[in-house]
Structure 1
Amino acid sequence: MSVGNQHYYFGNGDHVTMDGGSGNTGIDKRVTPAREVPQAIEEALGELLTLIQELRTQAPPVSSDALDDLLPVLRPEADVQPPERHRALLAVAGIAATIGALGVPVVEAVSKVLELMGAK
């Protein structure tokens, strides 16, 4: 911290430079609340997650691993942007489609979630 040129260093993190003025705020670190997922989408995601868990036990290991990688984004409580969730849903539908008849309920559940999100 120096006073002459008003340079402030806070540990290993933030660096603030004040070039004149008065009443400067510096860094505003408000916490943004997590997005609220509408109840219908939350329920549809819950159903989808149940179907994915069933599918992954019967899917080839490579497909199961790919589904596992996508699960965190699909949880209703996950604070993700809608485009990120949309991409994960499309990836799940693609994996489920390649598995055949076992994946049909998952593809249908993904379609339902996408429709509720207004993406279809």
Structure 2
Amino acid sequence: MTGDEDFRIGHVGDNFQVYGTNNIGKIGTQNNAPQDPQAALQELIDLVQVLRGRVREDDRAVLDESLDTLTEDHVERGALRRALGSISGVAQLIGEVGLPVAEAVRRVLALFGL
């Protein structure tokens, strides 16, 4: 770099100011996540299908049963919620590998108002 070159570091990321007391952070959204309930459900189904290949046989059986419920036509809300709870439970038990599935479950629950 020579002395004539202009080198500047540009701003990257959010810029915000916080005033007052008891502030704990900012609330943000993940813009690349599906906002359509059906798209979010399909994303979850796809993630569960990948996850099922990475879990033990007994956990795979839970995921398969839950996938059956998720792919039914006109599934009852309670059955949908129970299936999502089972999927979330398996995802949380296996740790970091299950995090994308657990997040997708939360998104589906929110978008379907469950």
Question: Taking structure 1 as the reference length, what is the TM-score of the superposition?
Answer: 0.63
| Residues paired across the two proteins, number | 80
Residue 44 of structure 2 corresponds to: 48
Residue 15 of structure 1 corresponds to: none
TM alignment of 1:15-54, pairs within 5 A: 40-54=36-50
Shift of 1:71: 0.7
Q: Which has the higher strand share?
A: 1
The answer to whether residue 65 in structure 2 is matched with residue 69 in structure 1 is yes
Residue 96 of structure 1 corresponds to: 91
Contact 1:72-1:78 at 8 Å conserved across structures: no
- The runs of 5 or more residues in structure 1 that have no matched partner are 1-38
User: C-alpha separation between the residues in 2 aligned to 1:63 and 1:78?
Assistant: 24
- The runs of 5 or more residues in structure 2 that have no matched partner are 1-34
Superposition CA RMSD, Å? 1.4
Shift of 1:78: 2.1
Deviating beyond 6 angstroms after TM superposition, the runs of 4 or more aligned structure 1 residues are none
Shift of 1:107: 0.2
Q: For residue 101 of structure 2, what is the amino acid of its counterpart?
A: V
Shift of 1:73: 1.2
| Pair member with larger Rg | 1
